[in-house]
Amino acid sequence: MTDLPIYPLTNEHKMLRDAARDFAEKKITPITTEFDENEKFPHATIKKMGELGFMGIELPEEYGGAGMDALAYVLALEEICKVDAAHGVIMSVNNSLYCHGILKFGTEEQKKKFIAPIASGKAIGAYSLTEPQSGSDAGTMRSRATRDGDFYILNGRKSWVTSGPVADYFVVFMMTDPEKKQKGVSAFLVDGKTPGLVRGKKEPKLGIRASATSELIFENCRIPAENLLGVEGEGFKIAMTVLDAGRIGIATQALGIAEAAYEAARQYAGQREAFGQPIGSFQGTGFKLADMKTRIEASRLLIYNAAIAKENAKGSNGRYSLEASMAKLFASETAMFVTHQAVQIHGGMGYSKELPVERYFRDAKITEIYEGTSEIQRLVISRIELGSK
């Protein structure tokens, strides 16, 4: 990948990108197959990523972060995801879904307590919005948080929580006023050791298998009232604001997966021969590569544009939902297209676990689903463009 002239990178950007690439190739590559096959969570490498500053790239230095911008974040995340999307989604959740909301809506005490350990790699954060019966429709949320003096009592069941089995801290969304539906949702910060918080079934997944995902069950889980994030009834706003940031992360994850699959296909097409010549010399293969490369570079432009929009929105109440949704939609569908073509170019070997392209194919699918399906992204984009709610 060459630097794009319309997005000139600073020396700091390049140093961070190169550091992430070097770490991914040397430390993550050797363990990807084993951890994918055995669904092992990569505790050691995640901790090291925190020590290197990858878990809090945009966070101010006073909270243990690197104090860099949104473009720096996607550059580093892209390099991690090119090697392993499971490491990438753990990094993405820590930086965006978890830390971003606390940084924007949290009190000074909450930032110091709940962000600093995550940014340094000493702890892992998670985000919990989805329930068994409610994903995109948060108004049907059944989990409840009831005020009891200086505490809130949390009850309910959450599902599909990335890093759920291993996280130390959670941003959790629950109903405090069910009659108001979306406007009755509130956000809470929950310590994973709190009595009444039970980690449920670990999900057996198609892809990103080294990333642990589970249910969370709250049974009279009692937390201090000071752990309310923002104010009561502001939870849905916080969730949607955070998802804008998260969608840029998933778009970047998709880009990394697509790049890895493309490079594998390009190299294979130059080496594999049929009828006395490399298969890449046949139009059937060459045109596939041309389409793959074009969609990858278009995805990169949308992601970088969304990162710049996010950066410009800092310090204000500005949103970048349109840019984030377009990047996530296009990049995730590009990842599926590119990985499918990569498997096809490899033929029988693409279906074998001896090569990583089948893992790229499995990992790509989730990018079209979590943090808002492709259908939800199209809904967001169309509503913004039509000026409707």
Q: Known catalytic residues?
A: 371
For 154-208, give the secondary structure using H, E and C. Answer: EEEEEEEEECCCCCCEEEEEEECCHHHHHHHEEEEEEECCCCCEEEEEECCCCCC
Structure tokens, 152:
């809130």
Cβ atoms of 343 and 357 closer than 8 Å: yes
Structure tokens, 367:
């990018």
CA distance 156 to 40: 28
User: Which helix H or strand E contains 145, and what residues bound it?
Assistant: strand 144-148
CA distance 384 to 370: 21
CA distance 282 to 279: 6
Concatenating the DSSP letter of every residue in 20-74 gives HHHHIIIIIGGGHHHHHHHT---HHHHHHHHHTTTTSTTS-GGGT-----HHHHH
Phi, psi of 221, deg, nearest 5: -80, 115
Cβ atoms of 184 and 9 closer than 8 Å: no
Cβ atoms of 49 and 23 closer than 8 Å: yes
Q: Nearest Cα to 96, choosing from 62, 55, 124, 128?
A: 55
Q: What is the CA radius of gyration of the chain?
A: 21
